[in-house]
Amino acid sequence: MPMSEYFHSLRERVGSDLLMLCGASGVVINAEGEVLLQLRSDNGNWALPGGALDPGEQPADAVVREIFEETGVHVLPERLTGVYSGPDMFFTYPDGNQVAVTSICFRCRPISGEPQVNDDESLEVRYFPLDQLPEGLNQMHRQRIEHALKDSPVAFFQKPEDQSS
């Protein structure tokens, strides 16, 4: 999908300088226990589907919208699995735009639709068995999948470094 009008207007003012973004991503697990991944067109890596929230949008609504836009699959978010940010979440896109992302991740269940390349952000979209994840899937996304598979009522978040036990 092209850049939203909101981000386009910000980029007109700040150029390619660093923007802080809030995003939503989904670990979509089908009935066969496989995870939905997209091969990204911007960097050629496999990734979980997701993207930036629009102003005023709820994170769960954003993950539903983003997953459909990128994969053609309608999902139901079942639970929050983690909130991710920090130095590993700084990115520079091929056009030079820099972002620092805080991503809210949900475990989702597909409710309709078949995986397909549904926009220009993906080169390929498909389900993978959990024991056959692709080589090009980075460690951050592998960690999100692990957190989503845990049957824990508590979402992952990085605890303060100076926290006393």
Q: How far is CA 151 from the centre of its chain?
A: 20
Q: Kindly report, residue by residue over 65-108, the tens digit of the pLDDT.
A: 999 999 999 999 999 999 999 998 998 988 899 999 999 999 99
- What CATH architecture applies to the domain 26-149? Alpha-Beta Complex (3.90)
Instruction: Give the pLDDT band (50/70/90) at residue 159.
Output: confident
Instruction: Give the pLDDT band (50/70/90) at residue 164.
Output: low
pLDDT of residue 24: 98
pLDDT of residue 129: 98
Mean pLDDT of 120-130: 95
* Residue 2 scores a pLDDT above 70: no
* Residue 47 scores a pLDDT above 80: yes
Query: 113 vs 151, which has greater pLDDT?
Result: 113
Domain locations in the chain as residue ranges: 26-149
Question: 82: closest CA among 158, 161, 157, 3?
Answer: 157
Phi and psi at residue 97, to the nearest 5°:
-65, 130
Told to judge if 161 belongs to the known catalytic residues of this protein, a careful annotator would answer: no
Range 136-143 contact pairs with CB under 8 angstroms and sequence separation of 24 or more: 136/39, 136/44, 136/45, 136/46, 137/37, 137/45, 137/46, 137/47, 138/45, 138/47, 140/84, 140/88, 140/89, 141/46, 141/47, 141/48
pLDDT of residue 93: 85
pLDDT of residue 77: 98
Instruction: Give the pLDDT band (50/70/90) at residue 153.
Output: confident
Mean pLDDT of 22-48: 96
User: Which entry of 34, 78, 124, 146 is annotated as an active-site residue?
Assistant: 124
Q: Kindly report, residue by residue over 7-32, the tens digit of the pLDDT.
A: 889 899 999 999 999 999 999 999 99
Mean pLDDT of 145-164: 86
pLDDT of residue 112: 98
